[in-house]
A and B are shown apart, each in its own frame.
Chain A
Amino acid sequence: MPDLGRERPAPVDSAADRWVPARIEDAALVSGTGAFLDDLDPLPGTLVAAVVRSTQPHARLVSVDLGRARAHPGVAAVIGPDEVRAAVRPFPLSTATPMPYLPTAVDKVRYVGEPIAVVVATDRYTAEDAAELVTVDYEPLAAVVAPRPALAPDAPLLHEDAGSNVGTDRTFTFGPVEEAFAAAAHVVEQDYDFPRYSSVPMECYSVIAQWRDTGDGPTVEAWANFHGPFTMVPVMAGALGLPTSRVRLHVPADIGGSFGIKAGIYPYVVLMALASKHAGTPVRWTEDRIEHLLASSTGADRAMHCAAAVDASGTVTALTVDLVDNVGAYLRPPEPSTLYRCFGNITGPYRIGAVGIRARAVVTNTMPTGLNRGFGGQQLYFGLERLMDAVAAATGLDPVEVRRRNLVDRFPYETPSGGVYDSGDYAAALDLALKNADLDELRARQEAARADGVHYGIGVALVVDPSGTNIGYVGLATPAEQRRPGRDKSGSTEHVRIAVDMQGQVTVMLGSVPQGQGHATVARSVAARRLGLAEEQVRVVVDMDTATTPWTVTSGSYSSRFAPLVTSAVVEAADRIAATVRAAGGVLLDLPAEELELADGTVRHRSDPERAVPFRHATGVVHWDPGALPEGVPARLYEEAAFTPRQARAATRDDRINSSLCYGLVAEVVAVRIDPDTLEITVDRVSSVHDSGTVLNQTLLEGQVHGALTHALGGAMYEEFTYADSGQPTAGTFLDYLCPTSAETGGAFADLRTDHVVNPSPVTPLGAKGCGEGSSMSFPAAFANAVADALAPHGITLTRLPVHGEVLHRLFGTTSTKETH
């Protein structure tokens, strides 16, 4: 019988029926309504730039003729080396090495893709047409592209004034290194090479810049998808010869991803500001993918030699690492920081009492390097964790057992190089990773596979995951005696502003410049919890404007700063607001503020919650009736907090530094299967256990783990910026620079088992540590260890990445079918 008049039953409350985004950022991103840099059009009359780039890896610029380009219809301005030299000072570098860096080449070109000139025209097509008319006369020079050859005495010199290609060379010894090696039962050493790869953001670099000559001097206003570190803002201003306060930089909420790569955009902000000055209009430039893959930024490749002194029981008593980073054609800040980011945790999760470090950065005729997710960690741990497997082989111990014997087991733990590991339970993380991996079952699979002639390997990696960089490590590139007293650097400060409006709605303003991590979602939840509010009552603003957003030199989105630092500042600002609101609530309830709490959207008595007033009524007192507030309570509902951890201090005179605030852990187990015929590698299982302290948002943490694994899979198996010996790049398009897609990750991570142990940090108010980078450092090493384990029966050693079929084919060293049966 039809019952048309009755209400339909309520829909079943299941995940299939209603999608609840994990993040407040997601709806815009998945519906195509995000506003990225290239979507913005803030200044009427903006013209469009194209960049003329070097086709030569290394050449003297004999002449650059801009005349025909300037005469092309639709062109407003063309600038080249002369204009740059006249107006721009070399960017301040992290070291005193005479390797001047400007936004364009001026005397020589030093890598393919280096900017030479900028054409400003009505549109990008016209600009590119005119760019073809710029005539560059090159006098070619010999090129060098790899770190070891760049060290050779007869290597082509990129910067003649420096006298060598070495941009920085420092040696450090902490603890009795020589004695340990002299007394060692085993000395295990090996050369390792880590490749150069990037993060390939969805939106490439993009800048809008306007130079204006005002009555009291020039100003620059720019929009860029830059995410910090904001140390680069004074660097930009310095190059332009302007006070920092006269350079206003906007960064939209959506920047199209980065993972560090867009920190390298700042020279283009300077270049487009200069182009605007010459064009007399605002100028916009959006990097295309070809430009991006040639000349934006990448992680540094590293050649290293690692050695361990090991006693008879398998305990590593000393470690030495000789690191040579290839930073590309210039020491572009923040390089040479790839060498130093992991300085305090250079001994990894191991209780190694003595460490010797030689840290060199060399310049070569390749794209300049910079931040890349895991910054410095993927390079370091590839060497360290491959070395631990070599220690296992030398001592006859199982790779898991040799690690277990060396684990740091009490906290806080101070490393010989100055790091202070704040909390952890490394053995528990390792045990959980092994249990989740079902190691016994993997070993049975390995046995069965080998019986069938299939190569099968199991690899482990343990990495200390640093977060909340102490920028003081930059100082280590300069010898202590040259570091000027009173000019020390340290710190990890983050600023946050929270305000409550007349309706009791809370706005949290961050200077964290997210790259898509979901900062707004987490900051909203932290602030709402501190203020006893529903999350809907809190809004988070992440658009950056250096004229109005609270910020400082350390601001920005890098080194997994958000969870340990930004949320700490949110807590502090929210707690100050809460104190004012409690006092105001006390006025309405006629109760002392100390007896009140904020909960359920109210101010209420702690033990008698019926005595309550709505949060918005209490905040209304502050706005509308401030005269009623008790003596000493500020009539102010905005608070700025700066979280400055005391543990981030400048480097000591003996060069020790606590290079990060927090240290998490990743324990990872990877199993791989290798087809004996095609040599294709299949990841069979991944078990990844993370300790990021207090978990602020489980879903977002999982997302970071998955993303870092995907990034690492790229570096381990697919992506590499390669160069011919001539200096010409050979991975300049997505035909050759191969990012893993969902097809690859779906295969590699079909059996992914992630888990967490929680050891809250004692140095952050919430106990949270960073979590954005972990597996990007551990997976390359664990994967390499697994492949090496698979190949071990064939006497093949693995000392470099990436590894794929072609690499294995060369390692097997023959085209015959002998080994494949």
Chain B
Amino acid sequence: MKAAPFAYVRPAGVDDVLAELADGTGKVLAGGQSLVPVLAMRLGRPATLVDITAVRELQDLRAHPDRLRIGAAVRQRTVERAAQARAVPLLGLALPFVGHRELRSRGTACGSLAHADPAAELPAVACCLGATIEVAGPQGRRAVGAREFFRGAMTTAAGPEEVVVAAEFPAAGPGEGFGFGEIARRHGDFALAGVATAVRVGRDGALADARLAGFGISDRPVFRDVTALLREAGSPVEADALREATTVLADEMVDTGGDAHGSTGYRRRLFAVLAARELATALRRATPQE
């Protein structure tokens, strides 16, 4: 478990990062929580590791009135603890499920997005909320919607000469409520199935819209607008009343092949349960209290 030889650089600016990545043989290193084991097992052999943690611009975590911008070098634990991040409650719900605290103290939020593990939490949060992922490359910068960013297992819209520089998550508005749940074999493991939910109600308490993203269930996070599902079920706040609908939804959404820890069928079962529970939770949180 020793990495094959590689070069290591730690540029100070995004332009220098791009210069290092230009020939397509480099690999971006941020927190290293997924990449370093891959190197140690010699499953990946990049010629150059481009450490982006010294790039000042990428260390920025900033709340704008309508969104939270997370630079690519910001650690998950920093987001978890930051007051600004409360603008996006779903991040606060999801982050405790990301690995263990020790991993989050190294791992970066954008690194999780760029790595695109199909069972990871943050890609699902990004899809559920419609986050934007900002990518820099030889042709300049572009913003990619999260729902277009994830292209398959460990595959994203970012090319080998590009680097994710930030992700922007929309801030929660009035009448919005969120839910997040996952089932894993152990605390901190990748989810067998998980769901992030967001529900918005009007001032009158009537359902406006409902969205969810599932993870651990396909080769990428799967987004669904479930406004109609929730409305047709009578917008109940009890999970059991949604189970029939989410069971149908799970049959349609869960298409992973499964493994010894969770077959396709078991993951469907779990997703149906979690989607019902977390939609009910999000609706309850969104609904004005008497």
Q: Residue on B with the closest CB to A732?
A: B41
Task: Contact check, B1 vs A718: say whether CB atoms are below 8 A apart.
Answer: no
B1-38 CB contacts (< 8 Å) to partner A: 1-5
| A817 CB contacts on chain B under 8 angstroms | 243-244, 247, 269, 272
Q: Residue on B with the closest CB to A125?
A: B2
| B261 CB contacts on chain A under 8 angstroms | 736, 738, 804, 806
B217-266 CB contacts (< 8 Å) to partner A: 240, 243-244, 247, 259-263, 265-266
Q: What separation, in Å, do the CA atoms of A814 and B266 have in the docked complex?
A: 9
Task: Contact check, B260 vs A736: say whether CB atoms are below 8 A apart.
Answer: yes
**Shortest CB distance B259–A (Å):** 8
Q: Is B142 an interface residue (CB 8 A)?
A: no
| A722 CB contacts on chain B under 8 angstroms | 260
**Shortest CB distance A287–B (Å):** 10
Q: Is A810 an interface residue (CB 8 A)?
A: yes
Interface of A, secondary structure class, is: loop
Q: Is B273 an interface residue (CB 8 A)?
A: yes
Q: Residue on A with the closest CB to B246?
A: A817
Q: What separation, in Å, do the CA atoms of A731 and B259 have in the docked complex?
A: 11
Q: What separation, in Å, do the CA atoms of A735 and B1 have in the docked complex?
A: 15
How many of B's residues come within 8 Å of A, CB to CB? 31
Known: A738-B189, A743-B186, A744-B186. A288 touches B260 (CB 8 A): no
| A290 CB contacts on chain B under 8 angstroms | 1, 41
| B183 CB contacts on chain A under 8 angstroms | 678, 680, 805
Q: Is B113 an interface residue (CB 8 A)?
A: no
**Shortest CB distance A479–B (Å):** 40
Within 8 Å by CB of A741, from B186, B262, B269, lies: B186
Known: A290-B41, A722-B260, A736-B260. A679 touches B186 (CB 8 A): no
A328-351 CB contacts (< 8 Å) to partner B: none
Q: What separation, in Å, do the CA atoms of A810 and B262 have in the docked complex?
A: 10
**Shortest CB distance B49–A (Å):** 15
Task: Contact check, B41 vs A806: say whether CB atoms are below 8 A apart.
Answer: no
Q: Is B199 an interface residue (CB 8 A)?
A: no
Task: Contact check, A815 vs B268: say whether CB atoms are below 8 A apart.
Answer: yes
**Shortest CB distance B24–A (Å):** 23
**Shortest CB distance B222–A (Å):** 18
* Interface 0/1 of A727-744, CB less than 8 Å to B: 000110001101011011
Task: Contact check, B260 vs A805: say whether CB atoms are below 8 A apart.
Answer: no
| A679 CB contacts on chain B under 8 angstroms | 266, 269
| B247 CB contacts on chain A under 8 angstroms | 816-817
Q: What separation, in Å, do the CA atoms of A810 and B258 have in the docked complex?
A: 13
* Interface 0/1 of A602-640, CB less than 8 Å to B: 000000000000000000000000000000000000000
Q: Residue on A with the closest CB to B268?
A: A815
| B265 CB contacts on chain A under 8 angstroms | 809, 814-815
| A743 CB contacts on chain B under 8 angstroms | 186-188
| A730 CB contacts on chain B under 8 angstroms | 259-260
Task: Contact check, B266 vs A809: say whether CB atoms are below 8 A apart.
Answer: yes
Q: Is B88 an interface residue (CB 8 A)?
A: no
A653-681 CB contacts (< 8 Å) to partner B: 677-680
| A736 CB contacts on chain B under 8 angstroms | 259-261
Q: Residue on A with the closest CB to B240?
A: A821
Q: Residue on A with the closest CB to B264?
A: A815
Q: Is A254 an interface residue (CB 8 A)?
A: no
| A125 CB contacts on chain B under 8 angstroms | 2-3, 5
Within 8 Å by CB of A289, from B1, B4, B190, B273, lies: B1
**Shortest CB distance A235–B (Å):** 29
Task: Contact check, A810 vs B263: say whether CB atoms are below 8 A apart.
Answer: yes
**Shortest CB distance B19–A (Å):** 28
Q: Is A597 an interface residue (CB 8 A)?
A: no
Q: What separation, in Å, do the CA atoms of A731 and B187 have in the docked complex?
A: 18
A303-352 CB contacts (< 8 Å) to partner B: none
Task: Contact check, A718 vs B266: say whether CB atoms are below 8 A apart.
Answer: no
**Shortest CB distance A20–B (Å):** 29
| B262 CB contacts on chain A under 8 angstroms | 805-806
Q: Is A128 an interface residue (CB 8 A)?
A: yes
Q: Is A60 an interface residue (CB 8 A)?
A: no
Q: Is A85 an interface residue (CB 8 A)?
A: no
Q: 30 interchain pairs (CB within 8 A)?
A: A128-B42, A129-B4, A132-B42, A288-B1, A290-B1, A290-B41, A677-B269, A678-B183, A679-B266, A680-B183, A718-B185, A722-B260, A730-B259, A730-B260, A738-B261, A741-B186, A741-B188, A743-B187, A804-B185, A805-B183, A805-B192, A805-B266, A806-B260, A806-B262, A809-B265, A815-B266, A815-B269, A816-B247, A817-B243, A817-B244
Q: Which 4 A-B pairs have the closest CB atoms?
A: A743-B187, A809-B266, A815-B265, A288-B1
Which B residues fall within an 8 A CB radius of A? Answer: 1-5, 41-42, 183, 185-190, 192, 240, 243-244, 247, 259-263, 265-266, 268-270, 272-273
